Amino acid sequence: MADDLSGFSMLELFRLEAESQTAILSTGILAVEETQRSPETIEAMMRAAHSLKGAARIVGLEPAVHVAHALEDCFVLAGKGEFQVGPEHVDVLLAGVDFLASIAKAEDALDAGAGWGDRATQLVRELNSLPTRNRSSGSPPEPESETDSTAA
């Protein structure tokens, strides 16, 4: 990436950030699929999701903010030992990453009527359910509000 980013629009900068961070997420999720659940891998995925959430918020891509936030929540719980990410979660996690990569590349990314919101809502629901899928007892954790603007 060039050192001088002043010629880029905010959306172009988001796209560059998304390309970098979705690569980290994909690599980490695939490592988890192979049961390589190191704290460093989980931490890197949490930071990547957090960075994407902030970048999406800056450019006003709320559907991407919500999906990145849900991914981040999964990885935060995993980092705390409250959720063990496993191969059975990979498809949903990768769907979230694919969504973020797709919205970053889309020409209609900022078009509210493009259907991004509906897909994001579905993904957030699926991602929020992951930590409860492998719990055998107790109540599931309260999911963090999708509209929490202090969590950037």
Interval 70-114: pLDDT, tens: 999 999 999 998 988 888 899 999 999 999 999 999 988 888 777
The answer to whether the predicted template modeling score (pTM) of the entire model surpasses 0.85 is no
In the predicted model, what is the mean pLDDT of the chain? 83
Average pLDDT over residues 20-45: 86
Tell which residue, 17, 12, 18, has the closest CA to residue 97.
18
Q: d(Cα 61, Cα 66) in Å, to the nearest integer?
A: 9
Instruction: Report yes or no: 71 and 49 within 8 Å, Cβ to Cβ.
Output: yes
pLDDT given for residue 68 in this prediction: 98
Instruction: Report yes or no: 144 and 124 within 8 Å, Cβ to Cβ.
Output: no
